[in-house]
Homo-oligomer: A and B are copies of this chain.
Amino acid sequence: MEKSIFYHAGCPVCISAEQDIVNLIGEGNVQIIHIGEDRSKILTAENSGVKSVPALVTPSGNVLHINFGASIEDVKG
């Protein structure tokens, strides 16, 4: 299976969701990207349709926005 990508920004909601996602789909099946630390990935995330973090982009390209930590605009600011 292709990997999903989990985008987050280090917020408590993000960390909690990350743990859940890793437990559910398996650590080997998900790449984790911290867009607060790796800011070059903010545009990649946006281009994938990510509007807020935490979010999971599935191998089929769908975006699952999980709970609500921060909007992409807030991470940029």
Q: Does A62 contact B4, Cβ atoms closer than 8 Å? A: no
Q: Is A75 interfacial (CB-CB < 8 Å)? A: no
How far is it, in angstroms, between the C-alpha of A41 and the C-alpha of B67 when the chains are bound?
Answer: 21
Interface on chain A toward B: helix, strand, loop, or mixed SS?
A: mixed
How often does this chain occur in the complex, in copies? Answer: 2
How far is it, in angstroms, between the C-alpha of A63 and the C-alpha of B65 when the chains are bound?
Answer: 13
Q: Does A65 contact B67, Cβ atoms closer than 8 Å? A: yes
Partner-B contacts on A (CB < 8 A): 4, 16-17, 20-21, 23-25, 29, 56, 58-60, 62-68
Q: List 24 A-B contacts (CB under 8 A).
A: A4-B24, A16-B62, A17-B64, A20-B58, A20-B60, A20-B62, A20-B64, A21-B64, A23-B58, A23-B59, A23-B60, A24-B24, A24-B25, A24-B29, A24-B56, A24-B58, A25-B25, A63-B67, A64-B66, A64-B67, A65-B66, A65-B67, A65-B68, A66-B66
